[in-house]
Structure 1
């Protein structure tokens, strides 16, 4: 149980808004990080091609606007209303929707420091791993961390299954998302 302590009198004297500041500090949420996986590379390619098609349509429309002496202040609106630009924009929106539907997103949330330290304690490195400078057991800690940080409710077994069956880049991306959400600072330690 966390005990709330009144601020020191000298802190209040230096900063009369200390109570409000402390309330804001207590209300901070743990950081989150999303990681996305898309198996269908054709979806990514379709977005790239549609974006290129939109850029070409806009460029062609702009050239027509210049050839037709459309006033500069009206040119952008004119380009946006051209049928080929509207069609290309719609194509890009459709490709983005398909990509969105074909993408799996997982969310990782940082752990409070005591839970992070407990997890490290529960998965100490082997002697050989410690000699290599590892802070945790590289075989058991990744799945435990992924599970502990998973907002989606992934179990340790499910995390281990993915780590064992996925290719190295995807497995590393999953573990890295769980690790970074616990190791990326959100504080500015510079001069204030």
Structure 2
């Protein structure tokens, strides 16, 4: 039994690759990609949030009814009314909300920040490869698209409820880990 020897596909010369219109367009798109952005929305108006949840439920219920009875004008009118109510409720939540935006740092900057803030002995024992307490406010400020300073971040992390402070930290760290790629078959 003979086994066919697999050979690597030949590599085209760089000039041919540079002249390839498909690769040139793909390369341009790759170079123009924006780093990921994450958004943390804070809304302290419980009544507005509850009103939005109720409006979403009613709109979905009206949508289901309208889908089951497309010729029923009353169902279609109820759907339009529920959709308007939902838009109004969303507007109230939007007006009461504070949106914060964070953008992933470039790889080099992120790695330099991690390296500049090594873990304490206890943190290293817990599996951390950086000092969360020192790096948190710095990373939040560095990735903030809204101009949040390190001082602001430290104040919020210390003064907010634990779950809210964690959400702030997780948003700034999470956007650094966001993966928008699909490694599926080509």
TM-score (norm 1): 0.77
- RMSD (Å), alpha carbons: 2.7
SS in 1 for 2:89: helix
Which residue of the partner structure matches residue 6 of structure 2?
Answer: none
Shift of 1:161: 0.6
CA deviations 1:119-166 (Å, max 9, x no partner) are 112211112211221011021111111111000010001011111111
- Does the 8 Å contact 2:39/2:102 carry over to 1? yes
Cα distance in 2 for residues equivalent to 1:133 and 1:56? 47
Structure 1 spans left out of the alignment, 5+ residues: 1-7, 67-71
Aligned residues: 173
Is 2:153 the counterpart of 1:150? no
Specify the alignment match of 2:112 in structure 1: 118
The yes-or-no answer on 1:50 pairing with 2:55 is yes
Q: How does 1:112-191 map to 2 (within 5 A)?
A: 112-191=106-185
How far residue 42 of structure 1 moved from its aligned partner, in angstroms, is 1.1
Q: How does 1:29-108 map to 2 (within 5 A)?
A: 29-54=34-59, 74-75=71-72, 77-81=73-77, 86-108=80-102
C-alpha distance in structure 2 between counterparts of 1:96 and 1:175, whole Å: 26
CA contact (8 A) 2:70 2:76 kept: no
Contact 2:102 2:145 in 1 (8 A): yes
Identify which range, 107-116 or 40-49, moves more after superposition: 40-49
8 Å contact from structure 1 (residues 31, 110) kept in 2: yes
CA offsets per residue over residues 37-65 of structure 1, 9 Å max, x none?
A: 11111111112223344456678x86xxx
The answer to whether the 8 A contact 2:143-2:172 is kept is yes
CA distance in 2: counterparts of 1:180 and 1:89, whole angstroms: 33
* Cα 1:52/1:186, change in 2 over 3 Å: closer
User: Helix, strand or coil: the match of 1:190?
Assistant: coil
Q: Find the aligned partners of 1:56 and 1:10 in 2 and give their Cα distance.
A: 61
Map of 1:5 onto structure 2: none
SS in 2 for 1:81: helix
